[in-house]
């Protein structure tokens, strides 16, 4: 089975987190996600993350910290997801690939459908916010 390495950003501003809706023609199209994508050959995790977020969301993220790692097997591919949390960025978020983006207040996260693999990271993020407040 195909195995891919993915980086994704959990971008936090006050009590909100930025999520994006996956384009309908892609794997897990229509689901909400933490923006990001595949690591390219020769890139570090952080380089890939900064590049993907610039390409998809048009902001420059700073000081991302590893938040959660998840290995998950979908029927069609297996993914290693590396989620990095950041509260620092410059620019104004914009869905550069035509995707919807949204700042969601953390208690509302439960109302959005994420890919199956994301369940532990969403849970961890809710705990992170609730301990902070």
* Binding residue positions for Mg(2+): 36, 56
Contact with Mg ion (CB under 5 A): which of 5, 15, 23, 37? 37
Any contact of residue 3 with ligand 8GT (CB under 6 A)?
Answer: no
Please say whether the beta carbons of 67 and 73 come within 8 A.
no
**DSSP-H helix ranges across the chain:** 45-57, 119-132
Show the binding pattern over residues 93-122: x = contacts ligand 8GT (CB under 6 A), - = does not. Answer: ----------------------x-xx----
Q: How far is the CB of 4 from Mg ion (least distance, A)?
A: 11
Contact with ligand 8GT (CB under 6 A): which of 3, 13, 30, 38? 38
CA distances (Å), 87 to each of 1, 10, 13, 71, in order?
35, 9, 6, 25
Residues of the binding site for 8-oxo-dGTP: 22, 27, 33-36, 118
Q: What is the DSSP string of 59-93?
A: -EEES-EEEEEEEEE-SS-EEEEEEEEESEEES--
Our CB check for Mg ion shows the closer of 33 and 68 to be 33
Query: Cα–Cα distance between 43 and 67 in angstroms, integer?
Result: 19
Binding site for ligand 8GT (CB under 6 A): 6, 8, 26-28, 33-38, 52, 79, 81, 115, 117-118
Binding site for Mg ion (CB under 5 A): 37
């Amino acid at each position: 089975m195909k195995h891919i390495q993915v980086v994704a950003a959990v971008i936090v501003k006050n009590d909100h987190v930025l999520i994006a809706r996956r384009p309908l023609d892609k794997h897990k199209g229509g689901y909400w996600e933490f923006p990001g994508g595949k690591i390219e050959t020769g890139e570090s995790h952080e380089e890939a993350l900064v590049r993907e977020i610039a390409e998809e969301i048009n902001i420059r993220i700073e000081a991302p910290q590893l938040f959660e790692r998840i290995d998950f097997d979908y029927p069609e591919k297996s993914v290693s997801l590396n989620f990095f949390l950041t509260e620092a960025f410059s620019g104004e978020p914009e869905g550069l690939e035509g995707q919807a983006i949204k700042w969601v207040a953390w208690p509302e996260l439960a109302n959005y459908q994420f890919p199956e693999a994301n369940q532990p990271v969403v849970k961890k993020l809710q705990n992170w916010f609730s301990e902070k407040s």
